Chain A
Amino acid sequence: MTKRLNGSEIVLKALVDQGVDVIFGYPGGAVLPLYDALFKQNAVRHVLVRQEGGAVHMAEGYARSTGKVGVVLVTSGPGATNAVTGLTDALMDSVPLVCLTGQVPTHLIGNDAFQEADTTGITRPCTKHNYLVRDVNDLARVMHEAFYVARSGRPGPVVVDLPKDILFAEGPYTGPEKLEHKTYRPKVKGDARAIERAVELIAGAKRPLFYCGGGLVNSGPRASELLTRFVRMTGAPITLTLMGLGTYPASDKQFLGMVGMHGMYESNMAMHDCDVMINIGARFDDRVTGKLSAFAPNSKKIHVDIDPSSINKNVVVDAPVVGDAANVLEEMIRVWKERKYAIDVKALDAWWKQIEGWRARNCLSFKNSDTIIKPQYAIRRLYEATMGKDVYITTEVGQHQMWAAQFFRFEQPNRWMTSGGLGTMGYGLPAAIGVQMAHPKSLVIDVAGEASFLMNIQELSTAVQYRLPVKAFIVNNQYMGMVRQWQELLHGGRYAESYTASLPDFVKLAEAYGLTGLRATKPSEVDGVIEKMISTPGPVIADIVVDQTENCFPMIPSGAAHNEMILGPEEKKGQPVSEEGMVLV
């Protein structure tokens, strides 16, 4: 006979059976029974956040740095609506989450009850799937299904909406082992013929380029190992998207750096000129492709993706393969070896020569200063100080994010947490807290801008409460730097509302929250502050006061093609952005 439990106990038992050790949440009326059940047990730790939005980003940081499903618990109404941004973020970046939301009792649903919101209605477009549990007999199955859906195929966020009476009602518990989903069975094994065709294309290439993304992170560390092996076998260059950084060792000479709007000159030029593009786990995002009509115009394109809807969505490809990256890579390597393929050495040499020419432009160079801290300098020094350490980097969104992506060089996946698709300011601090929960002994740094940092600053209190030694490295230029940059380039330097007056004193603010606050205002102080930040055992805010007018280069102006990159400030003049480009954001 199956054991009968009440709804809250069923939820908790399901969490334990799914291997959950920590959840991020905030209590409220509708979830009180669940909090009562949490109180009576020790298997699942709860991290009390300061606003529900923070909880979702923490779960994202936890999930992206571990490969496990992140779990969120919030109350009904405002608890659920506050979670919406994080859920959308997780959907865009394919992060596996299960978000449990409280709901008013079933008999009150639809009555505009206190703290009632149509949570499944609101979250339908921003989740991979969602459930409203109306019968306690379905609860155990729904919980296990939620985890299955969140982590399978292309991962994503799943909401389980739990009416309060369901949490009190008694019902049966069934374990996860019995679950077989009726409809959702994503294809992980790539079609053999499609893989053979793709490998043939690679073997015949003269100017091949691997272009890989976040799908490799989600496929697991084995995918990165296989990718590294395969890329080395072919001798071809590789570029990674923002979300894919770390899936190929950045120190390897075949790695060209990041691709896209603020990617490396050599990556974008190679994208434009390649004759065979091997996309694994990337989705031809508009920040990567630039002007679609001029995107890699002379290339045959291979696209490996676990999500069939990603294929031929933005760019028509020649050789699609639907499947999990690790599975497909394993097959690709097998076919490559079996047929003793090799890319034409002469052509490959010529291709590398061309790439070395682009590399020699040294696109990340910037004019440093003795008197004012250049943001690039601060971020580069931070990277150099943390190189080789057990370090995890999160970011907020904006210029600092792009500089971090350019200057940090990751050797492994799961070390880089950033909001790519949605571009959510305020992501970095809570994400860092989530990462630190999963990796208590590691160095976790949020590379932040001051404007983004203010968006979820309340979570400093969470970091202090749980003694999480996260480091916030604020590149403070008092502007929403990326907004300011675009206003300079596109809107005649009219800096409408992009300057933040009355910023707090971040050092005093750190002290008020119970953290250590540090500040650097001169280039000579940067190294000392970084060293102090790293050696301080608890959480730290390092306020790095930088040049307010610095812009992030290189840059593909919107509406332009990859080979129309701007390398630095001296090039930007006399290149008016097209009207089409203005509209593109």
Chain B
Amino acid sequence: MPDPQQINRHTIAVLVDNEAGVLARVIGLFSGRGYNIESLTVAEVDPKQKLSRITVVTSGTAMIIEQIKAQLERLVPVHRVRDLTKEGAAVERELALVKVAGIGDKRVESLRIADIFRARAIDSTNESFVFEISGATDKLDAFIRLMEPLGLVDVSRTGVVAISRGGSTL
């Protein structure tokens, strides 16, 4: 039997009406009840029906994760809630823009590592690059860690977006 006190990371997808205050409701729910938010992304996904999709990465015991789902479902503008981690395979991606400033060997090395990670330089000056990298969260973490000694000055990350594998929909 799994340990009930075990804390796990879960990615939850929420389909909501794209109306004023809906994001505040979701965030307020997490802060008000003391749930953890590791990342949160939101954008409209169906302009015709005015639906937005929120992806929240959170962590907690199995009981807390169930609570989070039930509490989200209780919000009036919420259409559907799915625990993508629990309900089988899902793909997760995150995008980061990473600025590295430097000259000489470090600059060359940053380009070389970017190449290995399939990051693209989308802006460059004589003493800086902006790399665009996408992938799983730990890949981005690894890339950023490697850039640190090479002149990392700024990072902007989107947070995780996720979708289930196979033909099923939210």
Contact = CB atoms under 8 A, between A and B. Distances in A.
Interface of A: 120-121, 124-125, 128-130, 132, 134, 149, 182-184, 307-309, 311-313, 316
Interface string B60-78: 0001001100110111111
Interface stretch (B20-28, B140-148, B161-169): B20-28
B17 A125 contact: no
Nearest to B80: A183
A124 B17 contact: no
Interface of B: 17, 20-21, 24-25, 28, 32, 63, 66-67, 70-71, 73-79
B76 A120 contact: no
Contacts of A307: 74
14 contacts: A124-B21, A124-B25, A124-B28, A125-B28, A132-B20, A132-B21, A134-B20, A182-B17, A183-B77, A183-B78, A307-B74, A308-B74, A309-B67, A316-B63
A121 B24 contact: yes
B75 to A, nearest CB: 8
A129 B76 contact: yes
Given A129-B76, A183-B79, A184-B76, 15 more contacts: A121-B21, A124-B21, A124-B24, A124-B28, A125-B32, A132-B20, A134-B20, A182-B17, A183-B76, A183-B78, A309-B73, A309-B74, A312-B63, A313-B67, A316-B63
B17 A312 contact: no
Contacts of B79: 182-183
Contact of B70 (A125, A149, A184, A309): A309
B10 to A, nearest CB: 16
A311 B28 CA distance: 21
A309 B73 CA distance: 8
Nearest to A126: B32
A134 B66 CA distance: 35
Nearest to A313: B67
B66 A312 contact: yes
A309 B24 CA distance: 20
A309 B76 contact: no
Best-buried of A132, A308, A311 by chain B (most CB within 10 Å): A308
Contacts of A125: 28, 32
Contact of A120 (B21, B32, B67, B77): B21
Contacts of A121: 21, 24
A308 B70 CA distance: 6
Contacts of A149: 76
A236 B79 CA distance: 41
Contacts of B20: 132, 134
Nearest to A154: B74
Contacts of B24: 121, 124
List 7 A-B pairs, minimum CB-CB distance, nearest first: A309-B70, A129-B76, A308-B70, A184-B76, A309-B71, A125-B32, A183-B79
Nearest to A120: B21
A242 B38 CA distance: 39
A311 B21 contact: no
Best-buried of B25, B32, B67 by chain A (most CB within 10 Å): B67
A2 to B, nearest CB: 23
Contacts of B17: 182-183
A141 to B, nearest CB: 13
A128 B21 contact: no
A184 B77 CA distance: 7
B141 to A, nearest CB: 33
Given A149-B76, A183-B79, A184-B76, A311 B70 contact: yes
A469 to B, nearest CB: 40
A238 B75 CA distance: 33
B138 to A, nearest CB: 31
Best-buried of A128, A134, A183 by chain B (most CB within 10 Å): A183
Given A120-B21, A121-B24, A311-B70, A128 B76 contact: yes
Contacts of B70: 308-309, 311, 313
Nearest to A308: B70
Nearest to B70: A309
A129 B28 CA distance: 13
Nearest to B32: A125
A308 B75 CA distance: 12
Nearest to B21: A120
Contacts of B63: 312, 316
A149 B66 CA distance: 23
A182 B50 CA distance: 12
Contacts of A128: 76
Contacts of A132: 20-21
B15 to A, nearest CB: 9
Contacts of B73: 308-309
Contacts of A120: 21
B45 to A, nearest CB: 16
A166 B35 CA distance: 37
A239 B21 CA distance: 41
A125 B75 CA distance: 11
A129 B77 CA distance: 9
Nearest to A309: B70
A302 B75 CA distance: 25
Contacts of A316: 63
Contacts of B76: 128-129, 149, 183-184
Nearest to A311: B70
Nearest to A181: B76
Given A149-B76, A183-B17, A183-B79, A312 B67 contact: yes
A543 to B, nearest CB: 41
A308 B32 CA distance: 19
B69 to A, nearest CB: 9
